[in-house]
Amino acid sequence: MQTLNLNGHQLPILGLGTWKSARGEVYTAIKEAIKIGYRHIDCAAIYANEKEVGKALKEVIDEGIVTREELWITSKLWNNMHGEENVVEALQKTLNDLQLEYLDLYLIHWPVAQRKLFVSASKAKHFLSLEEMPIANTWKGMEKAVELGLTKTIGVSNFSVKKLEDLVANSKIKPVINQVEIHPYFQQSDLVDYCQANNIHVMAYSPLGSSDRPAGLKAEDEPVLLEDTSIKELANKKGISVAQTILAWDIHRGISVIPKSVNPARLKQNLEAADITLTNEEAAIINEIDLNRRYVDGSFWEVPEGPYTVQNLWDE
């Protein structure tokens, strides 16, 4: 599989997402995925399934199916653990749950800070503004995690160009990745161009439109990506699935992808997409269908009198 070079570390261009993978399902999915050739697993503390992911990882390593060095494991710092002094503590909990000694990549999950006592936040008093808890301060903890050998590389998720510029200007170790929502209905070309020009790789979450999102994160009128007629037509012409066409389009853009599945047939199908190439003309068909439509719009961080709004989150 094609890899991306992140400060000398090789990131497989396609990995497995675990957001929304239920406990009871994720263990089998990880074992199956690694058996068939997945080498990158994308995790996060807030997905509340890292212990089960860790059990599966330990078993595949113990069974000799794969070595730790062949795997790329990503995880993310949750909002209530921002702050220089909290990062290593949060990462150590994640490592403990995943039964690993180090991560390959650790990300700041959101540019949103919550008070340490509140893992979930629904009221203004649960949050800290970025003036009270600056990203640059949290990043110092991320840098310390690299220095301690707890993670090979560090990056961010859900960052705008403006927030990336601020971070790059205030960091010793530069972020290697910005993991953001990207799919044909939300292509983020300006952000992708900025990142690629500044040596920050882009990783696409919700590449298939995350139709298994909780109801609270869904709008009634939303367009269904996997039913798009232009992509269907192209997929039929190439004799591949719609999901494969979308994943191959991301890879064509130099963007790594982490489609989630807990289904063996779909795991296999998605993995095979890493070997499918689109011509520039085929990619152009998908470039045409951008709706600038986020599925994960961040409005859940907006509470009355709270410090975050959709506008200041995305700097739009």
Binding site for ligand A2P (CB under 6 A): 17, 206-212, 226, 241, 243, 259-263, 266, 269-270
Type of residue found at 222: E
> Is 102 assigned a catalytic role?
no
Q: Cβ 171 to ligand A2P, closest distance in Å?
A: 29
Contacts of 222 (CB under 8 A, 6+ apart): 293, 295
Separation between Cα atoms, residue 266 and residue 259, nearest integer Å = 10
Question: Contacts for 126-134 with beta carbons within 8 Å, 24 or more apart?
Answer: 127/301, 127/303, 127/306, 127/307, 127/308, 128/82, 128/307, 129/307, 129/308, 130/307, 131/307, 132/307, 133/82, 133/83
Q: Cβ 120 to ligand A2P, closest distance in Å?
A: 21
* Catalytic-role residue among 47, 185, 194, 205: 47
Q: Cβ 105 to ligand A2P, closest distance in Å?
A: 18
- Torsion angle in degrees (nearest 10) through CA of 211, 217, 223, 227: 0
Q: Cβ 32 to ligand A2P, closest distance in Å?
A: 12
Residue with tokens 């939303």: 222
∠ CA 149-151-156, nearest 5°, is 140
Q: Cβ 267 to ligand A2P, closest distance in Å?
A: 7
Q: Cβ 160 to ligand A2P, closest distance in Å?
A: 21
Backbone φ and ψ of 169, nearest 5°: -70, -20
Question: Tokens standing for 192?
Answer: 């992708």
- Torsion angle in degrees (nearest 10) through CA of 83, 260, 19, 186: 70
Separation between Cα atoms, residue 52 and residue 69, nearest integer Å = 20
Q: How far is the first Cα of the chain from the last one, in angstroms, to the nearest whole number?
A: 36
Question: Tokens standing for 40?
Answer: 């990158």
Q: Output the DSSP codes for 131-163.
A: TTS-HHHHHHHHHHHHHTTSEEEEEEES--HHH
Q: Active-site residue numbers?
A: 47
